[in-house]
């Protein structure tokens, strides 16, 4: 099996290049775009939001980190960024971490995992949008004149990169892997070279797990074979049977497709199951014990409706707490199914996306039922149903 399986169809194929790799563009110093205005709801540390302007920050290099407490790669990058804060403490360098989350949850998180730079909240996503942070982590480096010197991921931000910006040198950075490169640094040339269709599969580990799903992109990290197949066949992982020899293999999966043209992302991955993963899949049905998510009683629901237009759906587990952002009832049922190892079927009639946190005893998976009832206000009933399964075999 190959370590990396990658298919990327770029716009430049019209010129006869066929398959291409991503292109990072370095800007000359006099071509750097001006950084958008910083508009934040509140600052948890550092100056007040109204005091944050490129006039007051003039003469400083500013590293802006778009992040969230539930984003595993973001959390994983905090020690690295804290180390950079310490190393540049006596230099004109400021670090600003921006999240779209509510203040209370962020403060609780920071008590356990302090961030040494400034921390701001952007509840309505104005700065996220202005800086093209459609996926996170997303790191923007602003030079001493208030111009965007580069956009990258936090782990690609090194001491040398910051020294280069302080010295006025142009940067040539890899774009953030987990986001679309729709940012203030984008030029027409880079937009023309963005892939029209892309599938990338890499061997990975389960240590940093995350999933981002947007209208034209899937970005999953640390997925097992079972999770990949479950996505393809739109089934919970408990309804995917995988042999033991495949159970310890994990992958990063990136899929990008055009908005027009009726591309089915699941069918796209299905076509590479054999060449990329070396597996075959057969469909079946079984009578099994299951659970049903019923319509909650009036006023019982404790989840918060996500009202942010165009918000990305996320789910991440950090320190034993499941953080859910903009997930619908179907996706929440999948989460319960994965933990229980039994199908949880959505018959709730709930629509839209929800935000919530769920804490349960991980050593006792059945405790998730009472946790969902008490913490989220959900109604769950045990039943017996005939449900679809898929069986995976290694070639």
Q: Convert the pLDDT of each residue in 343-361 to its tens digit.
A: 899 999 999 989 888 888 8
Determine which of 15-29, 52-66, 229-243, 278-292 has the lowest per-residue pLDDT on average.
Answer: 15-29
**pLDDT, tens only, 267-317:** 777 777 877 788 889 999 999 999 999 988 888 899 888 876 666 677 777
Domain boundaries, the chain: 1-23+194-277, 26-186, 280-395
Whole-model pTM: value is 0.48
What is the structure's pLDDT at 60?
A: 96
CA distance linking residue 160 with residue 186, whole number of Å: 23
* Cβ 296 vs Cβ 348: under 8 Å: yes
To the nearest whole percent, how much of the chain has pLDDT over 90? Answer: 33
What is the structure's pLDDT at 19?
A: 26
Q: What is the 3-state secondary structure (H, E, C) of 102-155?
A: CHHHHHHHHHHCCCCCEEEECCCCHHHHHCCCCCCCEEEEECCCCEEEEEECHH
Q: Is the pLDDT of residue 261 over 70?
A: no
Question: Can you say whether residue 77 is alpha, beta or left, with left for phi > 0 and alpha for psi between -120 and 50 degrees?
Answer: alpha
Which of the listed ranges 142-146, 194-198, 275-279, 338-342 does the model predict with the highest average pLDDT? 142-146
* Cβ 288 vs Cβ 343: under 8 Å: yes
What is the structure's pLDDT at 145?
A: 93
Average pLDDT over residues 357-375: 89
Choice between 175 and 374, residue whose per-residue pLDDT is larger = 374
Place of tokens 């769920």: 358
The architecture (CATH level 2) of 26-186 comes to 3-Layer(aba) Sandwich (3.40)
Indicate the Cα dihedral angle 207, 212, 218, 219, nearest 10°. -30
What is the structure's pLDDT at 174?
A: 61
What is the structure's pLDDT at 55?
A: 94
Two structure tokens written together for 41: 């709801």
Average pLDDT over residues 82-110: 93
CA distance linking residue 150 with residue 157, whole number of Å: 10
């Amino acid at each position: 099996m190959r370590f990396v399986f990658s298919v990327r169809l770029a716009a430049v194929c019209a010129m006869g290049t066929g398959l291409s790799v991503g292109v990072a563009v370095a800007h000359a110093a006099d071509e750097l775009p001006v950084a958008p205005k910083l508009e934040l709801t509140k600052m948890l540390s550092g100056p007040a939001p109204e005091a944050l302007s490129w006039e007051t920050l003039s003469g400083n290099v500013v590293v802006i980190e778009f992040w969230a407490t539930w984003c595993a790669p973001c959390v994983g990058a905090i020690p690295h960024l804290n180390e950079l804060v310490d190393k540049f403490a006596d230099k004109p360098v400021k670090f600003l971490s921006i999240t779209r989350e509510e203040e209370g949850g962020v403060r609780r998180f920071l008590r356990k995992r302090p961030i040494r730079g400034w921390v701001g909240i952007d509840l309505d996503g104005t700065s996220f949008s202005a800086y093209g942070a459609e996926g996170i982590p997303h790191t923007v480096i602003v030079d001493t004149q208030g111009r965007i010197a580069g956009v990258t991921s936090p782990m690609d931000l090194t001491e040398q990169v910051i020294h280069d910006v302080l010295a006025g040198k142009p940067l040539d950075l890899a774009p953030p892997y987990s986001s679309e490169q729709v940012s203030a640094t984008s030029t027409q040339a880079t937009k023309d070279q963005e892939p029209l269709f892309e599938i990338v599969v890499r061997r990975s580990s389960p240590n940093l797990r995350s999933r981002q799903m947007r209208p034209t992109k899937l970005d999953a990290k640390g997925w097992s074979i079972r999770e990949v197949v479950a996505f393809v066949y739109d089934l919970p992982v408990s309804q995917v049977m995988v042999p033991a020899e495949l159970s310890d293999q994990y992958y990063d999966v990136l899929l990008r497709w055009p908005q027009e043209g009726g591309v089915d992302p699941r069918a796209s991955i299905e076509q590479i199951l054999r060449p990329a993963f070396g597996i075959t899949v057969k469909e079946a049905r079984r009578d099994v014990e299951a659970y049903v998510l019923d319509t909650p009683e009036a006023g019982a629901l404790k989840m918060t409706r996500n009202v942010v237009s165009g918000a990305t759906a996320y789910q991440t587990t950090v320190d034993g707490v499941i953080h859910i952002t903009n997930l619908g009832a179907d996706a929440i049922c999948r989460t319960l199914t994965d933990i229980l190892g039994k199908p949880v079927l959505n018959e709730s009639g709930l629509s839209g996306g929800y935000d919530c946190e769920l804490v349960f005893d991980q050593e006792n998976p059945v405790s998730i039922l009472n946790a969902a009832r008490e913490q989220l206000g959900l109604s769950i009933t045990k039943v017996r149903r005939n449900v679809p399964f898929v069986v995976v075999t290694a070639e």
